[in-house]
C-alpha cells in the first residue's frame, strides 16, 4: 500500500476495494460499540487553506474514534508556501506528528508536501481532485447496490475536482461514468485521457455529454455539486447564467431509474444545482454520503498510520 493518499488514480482496483471493505468494517465496528484504539499515540496535523465542515470534523472525529489525536492548523497559522516554504513546513511537521492532511487550493501544494515529508500525506481536497470524497461516494453507492460493477453513475454540472475523482474511482471499480456539463466547463483533458485505459481495463464506459436529460437515462446514481467552487467567486454571476439547465430537480430525477440515488458532496446551494424537493426527497442519499466521509477516512487513516 502507498505511503500517501493523494489521488484515486494512484491506487489499484484491489487496493481501492480493500479500503472500501475496511471502511465498511470500521463502520460496522463503530456502530456495534466503538472502534479499537489502533492509532493510540498517533497525531494527525490538518492543514486548511479552505474552510470546511465535513473534512475537518470527519478527520478529527475519525482520529478520535481510532484512539489518536488531530491538530487543526488554520490558513493564518501556516501560510502554506507564503510565510514559510512548503518543503520546510513538511520537514518541521514530520518531527511533531505522524501524518498530514492538507485541504488546499493548488494541487501542487499537496504533492510538494508529500515529496518532502517522510510521513504520510492525505489530500483532503485540491483544485484538481478530491479523493477522500470519492471514497465516501463509492462506499455509499456500494451500500445501496451491493456492487460497483456495471452501475451507471451520472455527474451533472461543472467538470471540477469532485467530478475528476468520481470518474477515476468509477473507472477503477467498473462503474460506467457519464458527465453532462456546459461548454467551457469540461473536466481537464489530461484527467480524461489518463482514465480512458483504466476504464477499458475494467469494462467501464465513459460518456461526455452536454444534455443532462440524455445523461441520466438509466442512471443508478445522479451526482451534482455547486456551480461555483471556493476560489471561483468572481465567476459566480457568469456561472449562474449558464448552469440552470443542469439543475437536479424532480423532473430530471424522474427520468432516471426508479431506484436511483442522488448524491452531492455538500455544501449544497439549494435552489441552484439541486432543489429542496430532491435534496430532502426519497432518492436523496446526501446525508448518509456525508456520514460516510467519517468511515472512509478512518480506513485511510488506519491504513497509512497504523504501523508508522
- Catalytic residue numbers read 103, 130, 133, 225, 265, 293
Sheet-wide strand order for 152-156: 206-209, 176-180, 152-156, 221-224, 261-264
- Look at the chain and count its residues: 308
Q: Where are the alpha helices (DSSP H) in 123-181?
A: 131-145, 161-173
Look at residues 39, 60, 67 and name the one whose alpha carbon lies nearest to residue 103: 60
CA atoms within 13 A on the CB side of 253: 24
For 92, the 3-state DSSP assignment is helix
What is the C-alpha to C-alpha distance for residues 71 and 79, in angstroms, rounded to an integer? 16
Query: What is the 8-class DSSP label of residue 262?
Result: E
Name the residue among 48, 41, 91 with its Cα closest to residue 63.
41
Amino acid at each position: 500500500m502507498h505511503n500517501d493518499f493523494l489521488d484515486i488514480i494512484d491506487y489499484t482496483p484491489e487496493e481501492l476495494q480493500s479500503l472500501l471493505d475496511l471502511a465498511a468494517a470500521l463502520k460496522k465496528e463503530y456502530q456495534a460499540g466503538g472502534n479499537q484504539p489502533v492509532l493510540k499515540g498517533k497525531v494527525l496535523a490538518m492543514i486548511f487553506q479552505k474552510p470546511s465542515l465535513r473534512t475537518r470534523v470527519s478527520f478529527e472525529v475519525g482520529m478520535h474514534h481510532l484512539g489518536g489525536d488531530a491538530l487543526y492548523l488554520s490558513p493564518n497559522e501556516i501560510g502554506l508556501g507564503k510565510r514559510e516554504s512548503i518543503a520546510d513546513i513538511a520537514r518541521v511537521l514530520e518531527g511533531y506528528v505522524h501524518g498530514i492532511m492538507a485541504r488546499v487550493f493548488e494541487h501542487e501544494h499537496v504533492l510538494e508536501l508529500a515529496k518532502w515529508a517522510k510521513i504520510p500525506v492525505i489530500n483532503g481536497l485540491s483544485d484538481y481532485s478530491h479523493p477522500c470524497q470519492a471514497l465516501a461516494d463509492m462506499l455509499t453507492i456500494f451500500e445501496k447496490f451491493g456492487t460497483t460493477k456495471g452501475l451507471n453513475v451520472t455527474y451533472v454540472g461543472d467538470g471540477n475536482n469532485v467530478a475528476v475523482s468520481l470518474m477515476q474511482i468509477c473507472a477503477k471499480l467498473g462503474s460506467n461514468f457519464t458527465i453532462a456539463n456546459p461548454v467551457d466547463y469540461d473536466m481537464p483533458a489530461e484527467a480524461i485521457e489518463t482514465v480512458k485505459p483504466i476504464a477499458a481495463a475494467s469494462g467501464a464506459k465513459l460518456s461526455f455529454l452536454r444534455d443532462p436529460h440524455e445523461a441520466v437515462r438509466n442512471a443508478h446514481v445522479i451526482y451534482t455539486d455547486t456551480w461555483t467552487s471556493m476560489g471561483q467567486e468572481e465567476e459566480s454571476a457568469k456561472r449562474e447564467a449558464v448552469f440552470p439547465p443542469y439543475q437536479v430537480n424532480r423532473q430530471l430525477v424522474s427520468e432516471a431509474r426508479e431506484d436511483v440515488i442522488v448524491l452531492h458532496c455538500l455544501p449544497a446551494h439549494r435552489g441552484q444545482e439541486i432543489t429542496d424537493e430532491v435534496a430532502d426527497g426519497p432518492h436523496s442519499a446526501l446525508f448518509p454520503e456525508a456520514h460516510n466521509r467519517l468511515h472512509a477516512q478512518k480506513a485511510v487513516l488506519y491504513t497509512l498510520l497504523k504501523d508508522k
